[in-house]
Amino acid sequence: MDCLFCKIISGDIPAKVIFQDDLVVAFDDINPQAPQHKLIVPRKHIATLNDLQEEDNNLIGYMAQTAKQLAKNLNIAEDGYRIVMNCNAGAGQTVFHIHMHLLGGRHMTWPPG
């Protein structure tokens, strides 16, 4: 499958991996939008949030738990951080394999752009 994140997960394309287990891989975003910008990606290829099945509920929960733990490890948990999932082009999704952005290390404004 011609999917960038599947290739990062398989190791065909290098990335700065900070955590991985049998369900998820987390790595530095190549174009960081904050001092800390990580991507948490499930090993399972799911193109967009619109493709989520009920059977994926635990996986999404696990991604959030991973983000929580990584935020703690990165020392951004107390100050605050943001989790973002973009769905489809209109929301800015450019890689069609779902992922959570974990952003922190600076003050965040609202609403997002």
- Show the CA angle centred on residue 61, arms to residues 24 and 32, nearest 5°: 55
Tokens of 14: 């290098």
Site string for ligand 5GP, 74-103 (x = CB under 6 A): ------------x-----xxxx--------
Annotated active-site residue 99? The verdict is yes
109 binds ligand 5GP (CB under 6 A): no
Q: Which of 43, 44, 45, 106 binds Zn ion (CB under 5 A)?
A: 45
Q: Which of 24, 25, 26, 27 binds ligand 5GP (CB under 6 A)?
A: 27
Residue 4: HSE in the Cβ half-sphere, 13 Å Cα cutoff: 11
Q: How far apart are CA 55 and CA 18, in angstroms?
A: 26
Residues designated as active site:
99
